[in-house]
Structure formats: structure tokens, C-alpha cells
Amino acid sequence: MHMIHVFALVSILPLALCVIKDVVYIVDRSGSIQERHFDEAVEFIYNVTEFLTIDEQNLKVSVMTFSSDNRLDIAFDSYTNKTELLQKINNLKGTITNGNTQTGMAINYTQSTILTTGKGARSGAEVAVIVMTDGQSSGYPKPETEADNLRADGADVFSLGIGSALSASNAELKGIASDPDSYYLLYVSSFVYLCNLVPDLVPKLESNIAATLLSDCPEDPVVAEMDYTSTHQELSTAEATRHPEQQTTDAVTEMVQNTSLVLAPVDPNFGSSAVIWDQSIAAFITTTALLFLKNILN
């Protein structure tokens, strides 16, 4: 009968499922946004980050704000732990909003300046960029073109539209977002409703984390009236091809939940106890090892 140590199984799993990812928020602070609304955008970023695993082996977060100019407010290398990062995010409240909406310039700045090793970005890390804005961009370069350039470097780009000047069908938002739009394009009708997007965005940034809706989060009446039937069908089809790693992770999770680990009698070669290696555990370890190798190769 084959036996393995419990600690070997436990130690392999975290290594296999962790994903090194650099996340950048590009946040509009133009003059069309009231400062209290900007604070609500900051609160949204804070609430999302609270759920994420922040460290060198998992996710790191950077925040830049833009209007007529670009400003790197939080670099990847400007904090050493999650507590420090959350404090830096909270300190962004009270930011003065003014100027134009130079979204394309901000996305270009993100690629050329923020996503560099000089600003703490990690070589080989996955990249997710979230563009948050309340209106159409002004001037050049075009944000759609700059978002395409980010995607050419392997980044996933989310567009998050806020307010009545935009909509979920806005052409610019769709051009910024990666495909499918039903996954990468987010929308709320007002800043106060951003809290509704926390449970949606968190697992898209870290697939094994589930976020809960805040108890005091008001429902967005505009979004609540939208019919998402067709978009959900589009998502299921597109996700099957675009995110196979998520399907693998789900399968591994289900296997762990359905697998019973039975303590065997004492074996002189393995100490006081060991785990019986049945076929289901063998399949689990094989899948885990494949995921571990995939992370190394990527």
C-alpha cells in the first residue's frame, strides 16, 4: 500500500494555486468628478483589496490617477505588506479633482512607466489593469489604441464606467475592455453603487477568492433593470476558451472537497501516521503538480 505524508500534500497545493499578478488601477480625477465621488472610488479599491492576497508570491497593487496629467500615487514597491497598502489607498481620499479626461495618455503612462521593474513590477507576472472613468476621453492618444498595446504585452484590461455620461454599451468602454465585454466591462450608474462590483471584480483578480457584498451597499436601480441573459450566455461560451485555467482550478477544488483523507495505521517508515494514497488522491496530486509546473513555465 502506498503512503504519503500529510505535510507533503499540504505544501504542494498553495504553490500550485498561487498566481503572481500585478494589478494597476487607472483612476479618473478630472474636474467632472466631485471630490466626495472620488473618495467613493477610493473606497471601492480599498474594499476590493481587503479580499486579495497581497505579497510577493501573489498579488501586488499599484494606483495611478489622471486628468490632464498623470500621477503615480502608489507604486508596486512603495509598501511591504497589505496593511501598508491599505493605508496608502485610504490616504488617497481628499484628492483634489480637476482638469480634463486624458484616458489614453494615462493608459500609455501605465505601460511605459508603471509596469516596469523600476517601479516594482515583477518580471513574468500576470497583469490586470482596471480603468475607472466617468466620461469620454478628451484628446489623443485614443484609449482604445493604448489598451490594445497593453493587451499586446499580455495584460487583461478591465474598463469600469461610472455615471450617466456613460453606459454599459459605450463604444469607448468596449474598446478599452478586453474580450468578452460581458467579463471585462463593468458599469454602475453612480459612484455610490461601486460597492456592488466588489464581489464581481475580486474573483476576476484572484480566482480562488470569493467576496461578499457589503451589508449597507445600495442596489443600483439602473443596472438592476438591465437584462443580462444574452451576456451571460456569451460569457459562458467565451470563458470556456479564454479561461481554461479557471476550469482546472475549479476541478481541483471540487476534487479536494470530495476526497476523504484516511489516517492509516502506524508505518515504521513514515512515523506515527500517514495517508492512504487512493486513486482520487493520486489524481489530485497529479493535477496539482501540473498546475505547479504551469506556474513555473509561465
**Average pLDDT for residues 40-45, to the nearest whole number?**
98
Q: Which pLDDT score, from 0 to 100, does residue 276 have?
A: 34
More confident residue, 140 or 288: 140
C-alpha cell at 79: 509598501
> In this predicted model, what pLDDT tens digit does every residue of 92-139 receive, in sequence order?
999 999 999 999 999 999 999 999 999 999 999 999 999 999 999 998
**Planar angle of CA 86, 74, 191, nearest 5 degrees:** 65
**Average pLDDT for residues 246-261, to the nearest whole number?**
46
**Average pLDDT for residues 154-181, to the nearest whole number?**
93
Q: Which pLDDT score, from 0 to 100, does residue 275 have?
A: 38
**Average pLDDT for residues 255-271, to the nearest whole number?**
40
Q: Which pLDDT score, from 0 to 100, does residue 277 have?
A: 38
pLDDT at 253 over 70: no
Domain borders along the chain are 21-205
Residue 276, classed as helix, strand or coil, is strand
Q: Which pLDDT score, from 0 to 100, does residue 273 have?
A: 37
pLDDT at 210 over 60: yes
Is the CATH number of domain 21-205 3.40.50.410? yes
> In this predicted model, what pLDDT tens digit does every residue of 16-28 receive, in sequence order?
457 899 999 999 9
pLDDT at 294 over 70: no
More confident residue, 265 or 212: 212
Q: Which pLDDT score, from 0 to 100, does residue 185 have?
A: 96
Q: Which pLDDT score, from 0 to 100, does residue 232 have?
A: 47
Q: What is the pTM of this model?
A: 0.74
Q: Which pLDDT score, from 0 to 100, does residue 2 have?
A: 47
**Measured distance CA(191)–CA(214) in Å, rounded:** 15
Asked if 198 and 51 count as a contact pair (C-beta separation under 8 A), the reply is: yes
pLDDT at 181 over 60: yes
Q: Where are the alpha helices (DSSP H) in the chain?
A: 6-17, 35-51, 82-90, 103-109, 143-152, 171-176, 181-184, 198-205, 221-224, 229-242, 244-258, 279-297
**Residue 204 backbone zone (phi > 0: left; psi -120 to 50: alpha; other: beta):** alpha
**Measured distance CA(72)–CA(61) in Å, rounded:** 12
| Percentage of residues in the chain having pLDDT higher than 70 | 70
**Measured distance CA(4)–CA(18) in Å, rounded:** 23
Q: Which pLDDT score, from 0 to 100, does residue 284 have?
A: 52
More confident residue, 283 or 34: 34
> In this predicted model, what pLDDT tens digit does every residue of 2-18 receive, in sequence order?
444 444 444 444 444 57
Q: Which pLDDT score, from 0 to 100, does residue 184 have?
A: 98
**Average pLDDT for residues 259-283, to the nearest whole number?**
40
CA distances from 218 to 167, 190, 193, 223 (A): 19, 11, 6, 12
Summary mean pLDDT of the chain: 81
Q: Which pLDDT score, from 0 to 100, does residue 292 have?
A: 54
